[in-house]
A and B are shown apart, each in its own frame.
Chain A
Amino acid sequence: MFHALVSIKQVPDTTNIRIDPETNNLIRQGVPTILNPYDAHAVAAAVEWKRKLGGKVTIITMGPPAAVTSLRECIEMGADRAILISARQFAGADTWATSYVLTEVIKEIHSKDPVSLVFFGKQAIDGDTAQVGPGVAVRMDLPVVSYAVKIREVNLEEQYVIIERKTESRNEVIKTSLPTALTCEKDIAEIPYASLPDLVYALRYEPEVWNAESPITFDPAQLGLKGSPTTVFKTGTPEKHTAGEVFKVSEVGLDGVIKTALDKILGVEGMASMLGVQK
């Protein structure tokens, strides 16, 4: 049976984050949390293949209790089962400690209900690390296909998958045996409109909650802040740049503005010869 597992993250919508100019602190209040956009596309791809092949989709997330809203969103999209992994001990985890917990959880699920594909978004928009997917794959010794843009074939009989991934210069088509881990670009699948039965199912669905003791236990030394090789030493706000002169077309006139702009541009070293124009 096809069993897709998708690891998702609830993130603050970074396009709406502002900095308090007086304290330099992040203003989190009023910033909406969303399902990480890349993860949403990964869920869409998992559901799409479930519809083709039969089977089911399981969603997992490590996060605070509020993350159930993102899990429910995945159920609306057509996922069947959702698990929230939540405990104080997990807090402050870097990518290493995060991949440890996810690996233990996925192994447990896999032992009861073998997994064919483990999906991740290519990165989360709050941390932008892109490290958790490859980290889990290494811990589980699974093949990993990162920056996946298309799943071409899932062959359950012969237990292989063919995935197209993007590199900086071209796309590569990779064949691996199941189970395989993949990290997804948005191209992997369109977000579907939720069907009525899925909406109704999601409405009543209560995600399972796993904590640090049950149903599986973890090595406490590898959890959260304590289990993280990297720690934040300090934080700050980005350097401010000095602003240059601003000209208003309505005041200076279009001709004047354009001439000034070009004169300044041609003053940049090497620019005149690059453009084939004299200073």
Chain B
Amino acid sequence: MSRRFWVYIEQEDGKVHPVSWELLGVARKLADQVGEDSIVEGILVGHNMEEAAQECLHYGAETVYVVDDPTFKNYLNKPYTVALTALVKKYAPEVFLVGATTLGRDLAGAVATSVGTGLTADTTHLAMGEIKEGTKKLLLATRPAFGGNVIATIVCRNHSPQMATVRPRVFNPSPRTEDAKGQIVREKMEITPDMINAEIVEFVTNAAATVKLEYADIIVSGGRGLGGAKGFELIKKLADELGGVVGSSRACVDAGWIKYDHQVGQTGKTVRPKLYIAAGISGAIQHKVGMQESDFILAINRDPHAPIFDVATMGIVGDLYEVIPALIKEIRARKEAQNG
């Protein structure tokens, strides 16, 4: 029997969350680490899923199991948990990865409990490896704990599947190819009344939720050094000039200067932009774990000993209220020079 490496394909209104492609990429790597009889498969639950299922094949899934029914049009914990539990019992995957998104964490915790297996939350590094020489390779699921101060590798020895939720933006997505060689398997799911224990009565738009930090190319973040909520006006000005989005350290969120949706770090979002500007952020470990993989990090801080400089590509020791306006001015000047 093949060793199945499963990826939960997260979707909302048929739109697949990019973390799913990242998981297909990392699942491929894990499968390759255990040998040739291993396969990477996607699990898709929803309604009108044809297009999404096809996309999974383009992103490298060898099989996509699709549960398609109006019951699953919008995500609800119980029906989705019942569906995934049934599939896990039927196919007995060895590893099951779920994105550590709001939806994924809600779902994975319920599925693991319902199946009766272990789950490692919010992982940032995955490998298949022996914990003792000569034993079967296990999923070595590594994650930050204690606010990012410690990195712990967790294993699930005697239960199956070995489950983990995986932070978005930590792994590179699987490349999309033109050919889609895999197969789509439609799963019949009997819908019983006890599957439905909640109903969505209304959707409310949440302005803050439109902050798309995780997949932004340019982020300008402010920290305690801003001195107050008003400081974010300057941060926003620079972000707008660069076509980027506004991020924040946890301190500012805790102080109520800005909404949680802007928070970068262990308890916020992990980001990997091309350019990350950290202004007035001292660089607590809990912040650094969320942004240190950015391509270019510019840190601006008055304190030459601020730990943020340890991860910065370039550091500026100075007053952010002098440096940022000067930076904006220089960018504008160069844009004007460009436009003639």
Enumerate chain A interface residues (CB-CB to B < 8 A).
12, 14-15, 17-19, 26, 94-96, 99, 125-135, 137-139, 142-147, 162, 164, 166-177, 185-186, 228-238, 240-241, 243-250, 254-255, 257-262, 264-265, 268-271, 274-278
Contacts and interface: CB of A to CB of B under 8 A. Distances in A.
B113 A138 contact: yes
A25 to B, nearest CB: 9
B83 interface: no
Contact of A249 (B154, B155, B317): B317
Query: Which secondary structure characterizes the binding site on chain B?
Result: mixed
Contacts, number: 281
A232 B274 CA distance: 34
B101 A241 contact: no
B154 to A, nearest CB: 5
B110 A134 contact: yes
A237 B150 contact: yes
Contacts of A234: 152-153
A95 B116 CA distance: 12
Given A166-B209, A171-B204, A176-B197, A257 B313 contact: no
A245 B326 contact: no
A96 B203 contact: no
Interface of B: 12, 74-78, 81, 101-103, 105-106, 108-110, 112-114, 116-122, 131, 140, 144-159, 197-206, 209, 217-218, 242-243, 250, 260, 266-267, 274-275, 284-286, 288-289, 292, 295-298, 304, 309-319, 322-323, 326-327, 330-331, 334-335, 337-338
A47 B80 CA distance: 32
A94 to B, nearest CB: 7
A277 B203 contact: no
Contact of A15 (B118, B147, B204, B206): B147
A257 B148 CA distance: 32
Given A147-B106, A234-B153, A270-B274, A241 B311 contact: yes
B310 A241 contact: yes
